[in-house]
Structure 1
Amino acid sequence: MDILSTGLSRRRFLQASGTAGALGAVGLGGGALTTLREAEAQAATTPGETRITKNICHQCPARCGIDVYTTNGRVHAIYGTADHPISNGKLCPKGPLGTYILYDPDRFKGPMKRTNPNKGRNEDPGFVPISWEEALDTVAERLNTLRDQGESHRFALCYGRGWGASCAGLQGTFGSLYGSPNVAIGHSSMCSDGSIISKKALDGVGGYNAYDYANANMLLMFGVGFLEAFRPYNNNMQVWGYIRGVKVPKTRITAVDIHINTTLAGSDRALMIKPGTDGALALAIAHVILTEGLWERSFVGDFTDGVNRFKTGERVSPSLFEEKWVKGLVDWWNTELKDRTPAWAAEITDLYERDILATAREFGTTRPSIALFERGAHAHSNGVLNGMAIHALNALVGSLYAKGGLMSQMGPSYGPMPVDAKDFMDDYALNGPWKTQPRIDLKGHKDGYLLANNMLQELGPNSLAGNPYKLDTVMFYQTNPIWTAPNGQVWEEALKEVFVIDTSPFPGETAMFADLILPDHTYLERLQDAPTYPFQGWPMTQLRVPAIAPLYDTQYFGDTLIEIGKRIKGPMGDYYKALDNTENVIRHLAKGFATDPGDNGVNDFESWKEKGVWYKKPYIYRFVDGEFYTWDGQDYAILMTEEEVKESLFKTDSGKFELRSGWLESNADWIARKTGRDPRTLMFPHWEEPVHPGGGDLYMVTPKVAMHAEGRGANIPIAIATLQPVLGGRKTAYIEINPQTARARGIANGSRVRLSSDLGSIEGYCKYYEGCRPDTIVFPMEHGHWAMGRWAKDRLPGHCGEITVNQSDRITGQCSYYTTKVSIEAV
């Protein structure tokens, strides 16, 4: 199958679909949606004139503001916006690659339908062009039929990177009005839910943290990849330059990972830990902080007589300790921490006891300090416990909401939607049979993942097995699960029996199984809002403004969803007709700025479009000397009550940071039944050996790299060429292997190898790298595509997902990407 043969020129599309005459009047499918935007985008196309448009980079989740330069209707340069708080006039190496995305010759050129009923890797979809009217009517007919039959729950909408209220934000309302628990299912369980839910168990917030890096004096990073792929990557490099200084570093850095990467190479202390044992290290650090009296008493509390009774191996009476903003410290000590010494952790982690002790003392004395973690720590069967143990360190040193600490992210002052969806709920939406159906991924179900946010990796396998039912129709937005989900082969089988709608602009693996292609714009062609991912806590939201009119007959996903909604029978259709289009939505959101203008003067849609960003400084909450205060316009001077702290900062039952998690304790029976954990200890951060499936003798870790480019890096030649700056590699992504490990197996440097697990095998080329643990295989999660475009296709190594076992943390739902064990041999 030649997937590139499906590309269509705009002229060919218009000829084939017979709609050329209608375009000038109304635009395809969206009424006058594209007419205004195309007119604005083409307004400055006088020969030789250069137009600068505000937009947001799409190469990672950072959401850097960019200035897009367009001359004679062609984008030719992208720079960081000088007055955008994240980019500050700078971009990472991925930033300028937007032109490669826009002018990718392998893009879909318009809506298409499948003509080959057979699906598979070697099956040509036989895509033929259709009009947007036919495409949207086809989707609506299927959805109306399912609703008429009382089977609306068999429609699912899956999404990856959601950007704002005008795209991902529309999906929940669509599900409520239509009547499906599966609209929408996000990819967060295959991203960072392990981080979010681990923290929720202790602080009750359940969101990403924002960090005050610039004022921190120590950072303790567990599997973060701060200088490779941690958001916001561009700003991280900027802040690194500040905190590390020119000659004398301001901030001490200890980085924990399984191989030497850029972050570890630039740190003061690099700890190469055994995969899945980060929690043991964190527990030992907590043990030292308590036994040596290094905890922050203004936040944690103290013994009533001031005498430290935390002694290794000895229990403490809870009545002797007066807690301040934590709950359950002494219980945690008695149950878990009293025996978790550095010597104990050294045996588990393969680290030196002296390094664990030095790290603990430095973290406990270098205020303010932050412990942060990502997938390296929580992508294991014990991930929730690892994450809880690490996050607990922030409480022990008083970093929550402190200067130089971490906090939760505030949202923007958006105005209300044009109409209220509650006014358009019919009886089916309120009381239809879909209300009794579980989600297809069994998220929130007692027989599935009761406490998880999403379980996208389970959708394909569950539908294939008919557990709890089989899906009829699935729509995908910004996600390619055949390639991104572990054991994607199961998804291939599942999608053979489901009607698939893909909205990607590109021919990814999931798109090759699609029955309909409804291609989105690329990000330089969109009008799209995007509130910040956690950055520095204070609220911020950006706006993508089209740099040029759409090159092809594509349509913004948000408008596609609205147009489908207009075609659903009953009040739901009336709601979307009133909503009209995404530009109307965004203009209404911007009305909120009138009463709360941004620091840069943004107070309406036009000024937002001009500046590209709205934000309000400073962060309004601050922990100071044992109390929480809010900003009064001049200083942190308004004392918060305990009830206000509970409402806004620690959203737990106690209103405190719970080292004895009330949330987990309230679900103890279910957790014990599903995980086998002791109901007497499961509510505490504690050590648990991870389960490593796969059947091999080597850990396999597949980290993202700086040039990952939000999944598009594999089809961008310049990204491929610079993918591995240490090991090299242009035609391939090299598999990192320790020379000692390779030689013991007769594997030569640069030779072709086979990686195998219980699921099968893939092949690639290896490179000796002494910076890799001897028990661990490392290679970037980038190549192995059999679709995606001409540069991505058939590039070694094979896709790691094909040998990654689909195992998830039962509490967080986090997909355990880094925990499969494989074997390796020369080919």
Structure 2
Amino acid sequence: MKLFQTLINRRRFLQSSAAVGASAGAVATGITGLKGFSPVSEARAQAPRGETTITKNVCAQCPARCGIDVYTTDGRVHAIYGTSDNPISNGKLCPKGHLGSYFLYDPDRFKGPMKRTNPNKGRDEDPGFVPISWEEALDTVAERLNDLRRRGESHRFSMFYGRGWGSSDAGIQYPFGELYGTPNAAIGHSSMCADGSKKAKQATDGNSSYSSYDYRNANYLLIIGASFLEAFRPYNNVMQMWGHMRTKSPKTRVTTVDVRMSPTMAASDRALYIKPGTDGAFALAIAHVILTEGLWDREFVGDFTNPNRQFVGGRRIPANSFNEKWVHGLADWWNEELLERTPEWAEEITGINAEDIRRTAIEFGSTRPAVALFERGATGHSNGTYNGMAIHSLNALVGSLFAEGGIGYQVAPSYGALPVEVSDYMDDYAKNGAWKDQPRIDMKGTDRWPMVGNMMQECAINHLNADPYTLDTAMFYYTNPIWSAPNPQVWEEALKNVFIIDTSPFPGETAMYADIVLPDCTYLERTQDVPTYPFEGWPMAELRTPAVEPIHDTKMYGDVIIELGKRIDGPMGDYYRELGSVENYIRHLAAGFADDPGDNGVDGFESWKEKGVWYKKPYKWRQIRGEFYEWDGQRYSRQMSAEEVQEHLLKTPSGKFEVRSGFLEEHAAYIEEELGIPRERAGLVQWVAPVYTGGDGDLHFITPKTPLHAEGRGANIPQQMMVHQPIVGGRNTVYLEVHPETAKARGINNGDRVRISSDIGSIEAECRFVASHRPDTLVLPFEYGHWAQGRWAKGRGPGNSSEITANISDPISGLASYYTGKVKLERA
């Protein structure tokens, strides 16, 4: 092989030499016009382009938080690569990670603060924006807030945010609310994102969080309703781990359960199509088989007091016959729920063949370590929390909680203290003002929504109904509910009579309603702390530093909040003057690293800026064969007490994984009223049928995210739209994916314009046949349908799927039921 390559290279060299020699000779003797030859210009060195700098930053196009190296030459960003020594990116990026410069140089960005001159608001109204100075913009907002406070109406000010990155943006909002005096600072978008999975875990293991995963050592993945190879966090690293899992020995076996043929399903060992919203029934049948086949992890779960006893379908066990270890309520769960939840029962509900359920259960139960993971494909329904609890319980049955190759939760970074304490700057109004008696505008924590984290999707209708009151002023950061909320038509109406402050760099739909625009920097222009989302569990915090100074007259959101705070009357202004700036804020956070240096030597702000990331491996705790241990610096050697396990890991009332949830039992009366579950059963992990929306629609409607979905901000990037939907050929648009038999039964041909209708509206799209989906399910990837957002986004593609999605939510988690709608399909 080497000899052959040498001969090839020598032949090419001789051919090249002959051609150059002939060309040079022709030029030297004045011979011209010889076919195939042309004069060769004198070689010249490339002109120097200027100094290139490499800045550490963090990608902001999804929640993954990949560390990036940003290359800037002559003051212009021209390349972005994954940071090689960042544990998430490892020198790699996903397809959209390289597009950051297009966000930075988007010609449709806001160039500076703006104020509205047209008092009318609506989809067809030109805001009449005119530029103003930052001083005028901030003074205008501050005077409005001061006036509300003087009138005792500060609760009518709300701050709404989407993707929060850390203490220096999302975190800085909460002290503002405390000092100013509003319960509505801040309301996050988590109820329109993925609160279902967090609430399912809070109900069972006491952690209201996403999970961290030890994919590197997992031998089985059961993926249910999660777009693992498209949008599961952290996406870039998930793809890296997929390559590792599928090539290591033993190879990680994968079963995917979903309603459509996704890239994850296509790459799996087994693909199981499930009826939308029935994931909990599938998981309960898996649990039934694990127990009846004796495959549960006895060292973690516990065992019968009589070794000859076993779980037999249809037969109850004595309550005191099972000796629980780290699972609470197993005997009740079996007797009151699982004993009849056979694969045959689940087949009737889910549409999955009973034998496939049984095979999957035996594989999952007999392969260690094994992980069941899920997202809003399973939880985006009225029964979402119970679906998630059933799936997560499988991790307990096979002993994967906090085990090698299993799941855990993220540990926070060792941040230092701020130079000021909120409590030292609270005046009497902040401590005892009338605002204290007001609920949040979304009614979180009231009898209406007692268990939720946020309910942003309720704010518009509550305002319109003046229930509990109307908003006067609202500020938006990283969220665009006029486009992304379910039934956003209500937001269009509600925000017409609210003073809107929008901070997006981009002219989205909510920004078109703004009275004042305070444009944020893009992520390549910001200084910002970025603690990781749940990744591998050990603490990690990244730092964004600007690759370039802001190219327009923009300010980082955290600095906007600080500057507003300085303008509020009373001691609140002193608090923010003392805080100073976001950089000062972050320097104090970084001071905590001096006493706890990172594995890469980061021990303060300057080294954090240089490296871009601080982290401490390994995960602090580990469950090994049913016992919990703490890392001592060399190994997991110090055994933890039950009290320590409850404090740090299993944070439930019992200190165990609860298949009879104490958290839900505290709200049993509410659950009975909302879901019709008898109070005595409210805490059980159980099957609850979904309630589908859409009136008399006969087809399920699913709106997944694709790998190119850039947090709703990618639609104005022309390079993104050309590859957004590669499987069905979407270029310049997004197709509605329809099973051919479903289309033909309605007289629809491939490529036809179609109308999709629910009981709240209709949109149009172009049809594309996909025979690998369920016939009763339509798929429309979520990204397009904008009437604003920029020249490439506006009016492109199908209608906005949110406009036919009813505003119905899971009563327990509050998660909007994006995947539970049913629609009609017809030719347009």
TM-score, scaled relative to structure 1 = 0.94
- Quote the residue 1:183 is aligned against: 185
Match of 1:237 among 218, 236, 239: 239
- Quote the residue 1:804 is aligned against: 805
Cα deviation for residue 591 of structure 1 reads: 0.2
Q: What is the one-letter code of the residue matched to 1:637?
A: S
**Aligned-partner SS, 1:173:** helix
| 1:90 and 2:92 matched | yes
**Aligned-partner SS, 2:497:** coil
- Quote the residue 2:122 is aligned against: 120
Equivalent runs, 1:117-156 vs 2, <5 Å: 117-156=119-158
CA contact (8 A) 2:219 2:250 kept: no
**Aligned-partner SS, 2:737:** strand
**Aligned-partner SS, 2:446:** coil
CA contact (8 A) 2:163 2:479 kept: yes
Equivalent runs, 1:381-460 vs 2, <5 Å: 381-446=382-447, 448-460=448-460
* Offset from partner CA, 1:256-283 (integer Å, 9 cap, x none): 1111111001000011110000000000
- Quote the residue 1:307 is aligned against: 308
Cα deviation for residue 675 of structure 1 reads: 2.7
Partner Cα distance (1:307, 1:368) in 2 = 26
Equivalent runs, 1:328-339 vs 2, <5 Å: 328-339=329-340
- Quote the residue 1:487 is aligned against: 487
Cα deviation for residue 476 of structure 1 reads: 0.2
* Offset from partner CA, 1:212-266 (integer Å, 9 cap, x none): 01100000011111100111111111111110018x7610000111111110010
* Offset from partner CA, 1:685-730 (integer Å, 9 cap, x none): 1111101111211010000000001212211111111011110111
Q: What is the one-letter code of the residue matched to 2:546?
A: P
**Aligned-partner SS, 1:583:** helix
Cα deviation for residue 571 of structure 1 reads: 0.9
Q: What is the one-letter code of the residue matched to 2:588?
A: H
- Quote the residue 1:612 is aligned against: 612
- Quote the residue 2:783 is aligned against: 782
Partner Cα distance (2:279, 2:590) in 1 = 44
Q: What is the one-letter code of the residue matched to 2:764?
A: E
CA contact (8 A) 2:294 2:310 kept: no
CA contact (8 A) 1:79 1:90 kept: yes
Q: What is the one-letter code of the residue matched to 1:675?
A: L
Query: How many percent of aligned residue pairs carry the same amino acid?
Result: 66
Partner Cα distance (2:762, 2:84) in 1 = 48
- Quote the residue 1:158 is aligned against: 160
Deviates more, 1:710-719 or 1:233-242: 710-719
CA contact (8 A) 1:418 1:584 kept: no
- Quote the residue 1:8 is aligned against: none
Deviates more, 1:722-731 or 1:477-486: 722-731
Q: What is the one-letter code of the residue matched to 1:343?
A: E
| 1:167 and 2:169 matched | yes
CA contact (8 A) 1:475 1:502 kept: yes
Equivalent runs, 1:417-816 vs 2, <5 Å: 417-446=418-447, 448-695=448-695, 696-816=697-817
- Quote the residue 2:210 is aligned against: 208
**Aligned-partner SS, 1:709:** coil
Q: What is the one-letter code of the residue matched to 2:328?
A: K
Cα deviation for residue 676 of structure 1 reads: 2.2
Partner Cα distance (2:314, 2:51) in 1 = 75
Partner Cα distance (1:414, 1:198) in 2 = 29
Q: What is the one-letter code of the residue matched to 1:209?
A: S
Cα deviation for residue 439 of structure 1 reads: 0.5
**Aligned-partner SS, 1:710:** coil
Deviates more, 1:331-340 or 1:309-318: 309-318
**Aligned-partner SS, 2:806:** coil
- Quote the residue 2:281 is aligned against: 280
- 5+ unaligned residues in a row in structure 2: which ranges? 1-47
* Offset from partner CA, 1:543-567 (integer Å, 9 cap, x none): 0010001000000000000000001
Partner Cα distance (1:99, 1:410) in 2 = 32
CA contact (8 A) 2:784 2:799 kept: yes
Equivalent runs, 1:4-403 vs 2, <5 Å: 48-245=50-247, 250-403=251-404
Partner Cα distance (1:460, 1:513) in 2 = 14
Q: What is the one-letter code of the residue matched to 2:217?
A: N
Partner Cα distance (1:688, 1:268) in 2 = 29
Partner Cα distance (1:573, 1:297) in 2 = 59
Partner Cα distance (2:675, 2:497) in 1 = 33
CA contact (8 A) 1:807 1:816 kept: yes
Partner Cα distance (2:688, 2:260) in 1 = 23
Cα deviation for residue 674 of structure 1 reads: 2.9
Partner Cα distance (1:117, 1:758) in 2 = 32
Q: Tell me the number of residue pairs that the alignment of Structure 1 and Structure 2 aligns.
A: 780
Q: CA RMSD in A?
A: 0.9
Cα deviation for residue 680 of structure 1 reads: 1.9
**Aligned-partner SS, 2:120:** coil
Cα deviation for residue 731 of structure 1 reads: 2.3
**Aligned-partner SS, 2:372:** strand
Partner Cα distance (2:269, 2:742) in 1 = 27
Partner Cα distance (1:198, 1:305) in 2 = 32
Partner Cα distance (2:291, 2:319) in 1 = 14
**Aligned-partner SS, 2:727:** coil
* Structure number, greater radius of gyration: 2
CA contact (8 A) 1:291 1:308 kept: no
Q: What is the one-letter code of the residue matched to 1:395?
A: A
* Offset from partner CA, 1:376-410 (integer Å, 9 cap, x none): 00000000110000000000000000000000110
**Aligned-partner SS, 1:669:** helix
Partner Cα distance (1:543, 1:468) in 2 = 40
Cα deviation for residue 318 of structure 1 reads: 1.4
**Aligned-partner SS, 1:377:** helix
CA contact (8 A) 1:135 1:516 kept: yes
Cα deviation for residue 426 of structure 1 reads: 1.1
**Aligned-partner SS, 2:680:** coil
**Aligned-partner SS, 2:622:** strand
Deviates more, 1:58-67 or 1:680-689: 680-689
Q: What is the one-letter code of the residue matched to 1:370?
A: V
CA contact (8 A) 1:370 1:394 kept: yes
Cα deviation for residue 732 of structure 1 reads: 1.3
* Offset from partner CA, 1:322-379 (integer Å, 9 cap, x none): 0000110010111110000000001100111111001100010001000000010000
Cα deviation for residue 306 of structure 1 reads: 1.4
Partner Cα distance (2:647, 2:762) in 1 = 51
- 5+ unaligned residues in a row in structure 1: which ranges? 1-45
Cα deviation for residue 673 of structure 1 reads: 2.1
Cα deviation for residue 47 of structure 1 reads: 5.4
* Offset from partner CA, 1:727-764 (integer Å, 9 cap, x none): 01112100000001000000000110000011111001
CA contact (8 A) 1:68 1:75 kept: yes
